[in-house]
Amino acid sequence: MAIHRSGRLATWGVAVAAGLLVAACGGADTTGGAQAGGSGGSAGSTGGSTAALDTESTFRYGYPITVSRLDPHKASISQDATTLFPAYDRLLHVSSEGELVAGLAEKWSFSPDGKQLTLNLRQGVTFHDGTPLDAAAVKANIDRAKGVQGSSVATDLRSVTAATVVDPATVRLDLAQADVALLGALADRAGIQVSPKALADGTNLDEKMVGAGPYKLVSHVPGSLTSFERYDGHWDATPRAKRLEIRVYADSVARLNALRTGQIDATSLSQNQVSEVQNDPAVKMTFKTELAYLYVVQNRARAGQGDLKVRQAMLHAIDREGICKAILFGYCEVTDQPFPPGYKAFNPDIPKVLYPYDVEKAKQLLAEAGTPSFSVTMLTPAGLPIFPEVAEAIQAQWKAVGITSSIQPAEPSKLGELMFAQKSADTMLATWGGRPDPSITFAQRGTAAGFANPGGVTTPKMEDLWKRSVAETDPVKRQVILREGSKEMAEQVLEMVLAFPKVPYVMSDKVVGFTPYLSSKPEFRTVGLSK
């Protein structure tokens, strides 16, 4: 395959070592069209036809982080979906290129005023405990997802005022306002369906997964291994491996070694490892620029970050191009927008970078804001490559303009809880996992009530654009609004985007049916090894 080589390594005042960006980062560098219909399987697979798949095989995937928790309504980070989706089906699915396709709901329709969404459920579906899927089950899940203490998906469902059972195969969601983005939410964790019997029995969902997905949970060892076995009662009969294992290797070198020694069959790599495998005939490699991005989360209610000039100064002070070249070997793209260039919500009418690296400009803005110096705390994912190097680079660059930062490493699976729920830090270096609909990113990151906006600071214009983006049903008109929303996020620094990585995915030559997803959350519905 063609490999795009980066230029020479950039240099700066802090010595940095290249490493891996967490694999769940979020565009479209690989080929493959969206698969229509109800299977929700991946399209454009890099691994060959499923006709060649051995249905008795075991597919083992290497992943850099462990799931934060198994309870799908309380799991706190987007990347948890990679581990949750095999066992838990959603009401809708997305194709590998981000198109909505049928899931547990075969059809859906909005009322003329957009304030009711009717879902027609797939018939004959059963959960792993034998309980049938019906409208009552969906209602129970929507009610729990909205109301359970510690819900991380309540924001995604906030337009839903009630779930009503129309008949056993039909459920109606009443909405406070028109919300077309709800469809994307129902294709993500907010649309996960848990067995209503398990809910009624008080099953500990952090220990036992009781879903209707293509795989049943066999065992879960946090930080190490999650094992699944194919659920042969699943509604989608697409061939897939009999067993699925998600193995956790935080270190990218360990993951590559595991691939080469046959301990895993596919994984993502660090950008600095591309040259190691590009000529290896036993390894297949593909790249994906996804909806996920490397970013600095800000609690804009703390440390003076509610001031736009302070936020602009913090961005001007970071040499993002240098980080991209030195640590990601040029396999990335820098922009201030929360969507990659070429994506439907990316605004091409403004510069990609509004706040380029400019130390003097940063100092000037801080002086104008009346805060020539201040301190911030910065959470970082402990044990994951590149994050220490990026954090230290930012720390040094902020120090040059008068900003002192204290780096606080934490367990990656706990970061969401610490930053978004407990609001325990001023900033956090992390990866935003992307969402199936741009308005969900607006809601989570840019509105006052967003779960992932810990300070609640926003702008009236952003709130208005979000409301308009979910209410507009005309695709052309909606795209205009989405692009305006992306512009507002960038101009008001309602998101401190560092870069969109181009993620290298590698697999053995025996892998069939695997493809990276635009959503940055690979699914395993058509995956296995060759016969």
pLDDT tens for each residue of 261-310: 999 999 999 888 998 998 888 899 999 999 999 999 999 999 999 999 99
**Rounded to an integer, what distance in angstroms lies between the CA atom of residue 448 and that of residue 461?**
12
Total-model pTM: 0.79
Neighbours of 531 (CB within 10 A): 12
Q: Is the pLDDT of residue 137 over 60?
A: yes
Q: Kindly state the average pLDDT of the residues 453-465.
A: 96
Mean pLDDT of the chain: 89
Contacts of 515 by beta carbon, 8 Å cutoff, 6+ apart: 30, 32, 42, 43, 44, 45, 46, 47, 96, 286, 522
List the Cα angle 345/351/355 in 5-degree steps.
110
Neighbours of 476 (CB within 10 A): 7
pLDDT of residue 48: 57
Q: Kindly state the average pLDDT of the residues 441-467.
A: 94
Q: Kindly state the average pLDDT of the residues 313-330.
A: 96
As assigned by CATH, the class of the 293-502 domain is alpha beta
pLDDT of residue 50: 67
Q: Is the pLDDT of residue 482 over 70?
A: yes
- Spatial contact of 249 and 64, defined as CB atoms under 8 Å apart: yes
Q: Is the pLDDT of residue 14 over 60?
A: no
Q: CA dist 474 to 180, 182, 442, 466, 471, Å?
A: 10, 15, 19, 15, 9
Beta bridge partners of 495: none
Q: Is the pLDDT of residue 230 over 70?
A: yes
Contacts of 197 by beta carbon, 8 Å cutoff, 6+ apart: 127, 129, 131, 210
Distance of CA 266 to the CA centre of its chain: 19
User: For residue 318, which phi and psi values (nearest 5 degrees)?
Assistant: -100, 125
**Rounded to an integer, what distance in angstroms lies between the CA atom of residue 274 and that of residue 254?**
15
**Rounded to an integer, what distance in angstroms lies between the CA atom of residue 361 and that of residue 357?**
9
Q: Kindly state the average pLDDT of the residues 86-113.
A: 95
| Percentage, residues of the chain above pLDDT 90 | 79
Q: Is the pLDDT of residue 418 over 80?
A: yes
Sign of the four-CA dihedral 387, 445, 332, 325: negative
pLDDT of residue 23: 29
Contacts of 522 by beta carbon, 8 Å cutoff, 6+ apart: 61, 82, 514, 515, 516
User: For residue 465, which phi and psi values (nearest 5 degrees)?
Assistant: -65, -40
Of 39-48, 96-105, 116-125, where does mean pLDDT reach its minimum?
Answer: 39-48
Pairing of strands 58-63, 266-268: parallel
DSSP 182-222: HHHHHTTGGGB---HHHHHTT--TTT-----SSEEEEEEET
Question: Domain map of the chain by residue range?
Answer: 68-207, 293-502
**Which CATH fold would you assign to the domain 68-207?**
Dipeptide-binding Protein; domain 1 (3.90.76)
Half-sphere exposure of 503 (CA within 13 A, CB side): 31
Of 242-246, 416-420, 453-457, where does mean pLDDT reach its minimum?
Answer: 416-420
Q: Specify the DSSP element, H or E, that contains 399.
A: helix 387-399
Q: Is the pLDDT of residue 19 over 80?
A: no
Crossing angle of helices 320-327 and 387-399, in 10° steps, is: 150
**CA torsion, ordered 40, 243, 190, 233, to nearest 10 deg:** 70
Q: Kindly state the average pLDDT of the residues 23-43.
A: 30
Q: CA dist 453 to 425, 445, 490, 495, Å?
A: 12, 5, 15, 10
Q: Specify the DSSP element, H or E, that contains 503.
A: strand 496-508
Q: Is the pLDDT of residue 216 over 90?
A: yes
- Spatial contact of 85 and 521, defined as CB atoms under 8 Å apart: yes
**Rounded to an integer, what distance in angstroms lies between the CA atom of residue 426 and that of residue 301?**
8
pLDDT tens for each residue of 121-135: 999 999 999 999 999
Q: Is the pLDDT of residue 25 over 50?
A: no
Q: Which comes out higher in pLDDT, residue 26 or 461?
A: 461
Q: Kindly state the average pLDDT of the residues 353-374.
A: 97
Look at the block and give the residue holding tokens 């304030």: 115
Beta bridge partners of 377: 406
pLDDT tens for each residue of 79-99: 899 999 999 999 999 999 889
Q: Is the pLDDT of residue 249 over 90?
A: yes
Task: Determine the residue type at 147.
Answer: G
pLDDT of residue 111: 95
pLDDT of residue 41: 32
